[in-house]
């Protein structure tokens, strides 16, 4: 079993920055991919960014150039640095991971952290 806990959300003015964290705990063999998703009120959940086990990164067009995804393997923690925030970035941000545990591919989600960007 793996648990994911997000932190770092809050209220920030447009143009400001936040760093979200996702701490993973539990027993697993390896990470296939970890990523951040977000869901704004009344909208579908969407992909924000991903980082693979080897470290390759991907970004949605909406955040490309303003965000950086990273991971500290020693701490089993993933980060999303968000700069030049916009009101449309307001959403609940979720951490997700696909890992290998007990010789099986498993998927886990965190409970989310709220980011609110004021204009």
Q: Do 69 and 52 meet the contact criterion of CB atoms below 8 Å apart?
A: no
Cα–Cα distance measured from residue 103 to residue 96, given in angstroms and rounded to the nearest whole number:
19
What is the full per-residue pLDDT of the chain (119 aa) written as tens digits? 899 999 999 999 999 999 999 999 998 889 999 999 999 999 999 999 999 999 999 999 999 999 999 999 889 999 999 999 999 999 999 999 999 988 999 999 999 999 999 99
Q: What burial class does residue 100 get, using C-beta atoms within 10 Å of its C-beta: 0-12 exposed, 13-18 middle, 19+ buried? A: middle
CA atoms within a 13 Å half-sphere pointing along the CA-CB vector of 95? 26
């Amino acid at each position: 079993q793996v648990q994911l806990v997000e932190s770092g959300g809050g209220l920030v003015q447009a143009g400001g920055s936040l760093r979200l964290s996702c701490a993973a705990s539990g027993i697993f063999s390896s990470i296939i991919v970890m990523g951040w998703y977000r869901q704004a009120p009344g909208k579908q959940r969407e992909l924000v960014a991903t980082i693979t086990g080897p470290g390759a990164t991907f970004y949605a067009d909406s955040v490309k150039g303003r965000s950086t995804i990273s991971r500290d393997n020693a701490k089993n923690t993933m980060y999303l640095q968000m700069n030049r925030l916009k009101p449309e970035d307001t959403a609940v941000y979720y951490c997700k991971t696909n890992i290998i545990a007990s010789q099986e591919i498993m998927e886990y989600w965190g409970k989310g952290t709220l980011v609110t960007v004021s204009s």
